[in-house]
Amino acid sequence: CPTAADLRPPNGTRVCAQLYADNSPYYDQCCAGDVLAVPPGSDVPYMPRGWSARASSLVVGTRCELTVWSRKAKKGKSRRFSA
């Protein structure tokens, strides 16, 4: 997986978090498959199409925090992740 400081795509824009579709019990094979990039300041009450219950691993950038909910529309239990 990339480090928190490495979350900067080739075009140089900042990314606060990346969610990955594939995971593995072997660390060097984690953070694979499709990637969902979360830009700074995002407020998304619903997962994008095709991502519901699909994210298996994530990396949160420095000076960022990602809050996720167990149910749609920011309902249910929440959990916060940071670098």
Per-domain residue ranges of the chain: 1-66
* Contact (CB, 8 A) for 14 and 39: yes
Structure tokens at 13: 């824009």
**Cβ burial 35-64 (10 Å sphere, 16+ → b, else e):** ebebeeeeeeeebeeeeeeebebbbbbeeb
Lowest pLDDT segment from 7-21, 28-42, 69-83: 7-21
Compute the residue count for the chain.
83
Per-residue pLDDT, 80: 96
Q: How much is the mean pLDDT over the chain?
A: 86
Q: pTM of this prediction? A: 0.80
Per-residue pLDDT, 25: 74
Is residue 67 predicted with pLDDT exceeding 90?
yes
Amino acid at 33: G
Is residue 45 predicted with pLDDT exceeding 80?
yes
Per-residue pLDDT, 12: 72
Structure tokens at 39: 């830009």
